[in-house]
Amino acid sequence: MNEWEHDHIATPAEADREYAENVGRDNPKRAWILSDRDVWYRNPFYSGPPVPHPEDYCPPAAEPDPWFYDPGAIPGEAMFLLHYDPKDETSMAGIIEEEQADGSSLFAAYLPDGELVGRFPNPDAAKEATDKRLRGK
């Protein structure tokens, strides 16, 4: 032991790293070690798959909605289009709002060949029925 090591007082960061090393040695399955000063350190003994920093919360990416909503659809045009391709203006299905005599609406779902999937009380029910029909084909 040299004189520097004998007279040196560890900084808080050095003490934390030593703590993380000691705890990590005993817990090699933990990717991160939390010090008593609330600082996270990578476990030098961890050998599993990469684990993000515990405070870096990244929610899983949501899958994009396959239904395109056209707020400018005029009566008789599809207001929802399944897998709409704006380049050639095609889709796998469409939902048209049909106003009823009593002022309510039904939502008619159609396949590209004009086949009616059905009329539904709301767009979500029309989407679900269309998705089921297409999965069944």
The 10 Å CB-count burial string (b at 16+, else e) for 49-76 is eeeeeeeeeeeeeeeeeebbeeeebeee
Decide if 108 contacts 118 (C-beta within 8 A).
Answer: yes
The confidence band for 121, taking pLDDT boundaries of 50, 70 and 90, is: very high
Position 4 scores a pLDDT of 55
Closest CA to 127 of 114, 136, 118: 118
Closest CA to 108 of 124, 126, 91: 126
Position 20 scores a pLDDT of 87
Pairing outcome for strands 67-69 and 105-110: unpaired
Position 94 scores a pLDDT of 96
Work out the average pLDDT over 106-130: 96
Position 5 scores a pLDDT of 60
Position 90 scores a pLDDT of 87
The answer to whether the predicted template modeling score (pTM) of the entire model surpasses 0.85 is: no
Q: What is the pLDDT of residues 49-98, one digit of tens each?
A: 988 888 887 777 788 889 999 988 888 899 999 998 888 888 999 999 99
Position 3 scores a pLDDT of 57
